[in-house]
Amino acid sequence: MRKQILSYLEKNSKMDSKEIAILLGTEPDVVENEIRKMEEEKIICGYHTMIDWDKTSSEMVTALIEVRVTPQRGQGFDSIAERIYKYPEVRSVYLISGGYDLMVILEGKTLKEVSQFVTDKLSTLDSVLSTATHFILKKYKDHGTIFDQKIKDERMLVTP
């Protein structure tokens, strides 16, 4: 049941316990108790709203920054990842496989602001060996949500 509850909440965090209970064939109290337990156990870490910033008047630049680092003895990548994720501009930090060690997702108001973060803050950290920055030009799908989904015309074609 937990996995199903998590799947529903991941797709729509505003879904209430009554709706989930109906889908699962159980009582809302059971769903609410499971959600509360999962929040206490930190299985559910937070609730987020997905925003298409291109449809607002706010300017937003998102960058994916690959970072190659020297892991620290006894701590591996954890301490450098922690130093990076404490910056308020940083949205996400992941340990990855391949040619780089960490993937940092960063948001800023301008390309210049993002590049200044990389040159002034990120690249100057002792453990950082190199970086590669990629700017998001357009989002097509994020966290399972399709942006600018075309509305399918369901009308029947009538010809004379």
List the domain boundaries for the chain.
2-40, 53-138
Least confident span in 34-48, 54-68, 109-123, 143-157: 143-157
Written as one string, the DSSP assignment of 57-125 is S---EEEEEEEEE-PBTTTBTHHHHHHHHTSTTEEEEEE--SS-SEEEEEEESSHHHHHHIIIIIITTS
Second-level CATH architecture of 53-138 = 2-Layer Sandwich (3.30)
Summarised one tens digit per residue, pLDDT across range 55-102 is: 788 888 999 999 999 988 888 899 999 999 999 999 999 999 999 999
- 47 pLDDT above the threshold of 80: yes
In this prediction, residues 26-38 reach a mean pLDDT of 94
Give the pLDDT score at 55.
79
Give the pLDDT score at 46.
87
Give the pLDDT score at 151.
66
Give the pLDDT score at 59.
83
Higher pLDDT residue, 13 or 94? Answer: 94
Strand-by-strand arrangement of the 128-135 sheet: 90-95, 102-108, 61-69, 128-135
In this prediction, residues 129-146 reach a mean pLDDT of 89
Report yes or no: 1 and 26 within 8 Å, Cβ to Cβ. yes
- 153 pLDDT above the threshold of 70: no
CA pseudo-torsion sign 22, 25, 29, 32: negative
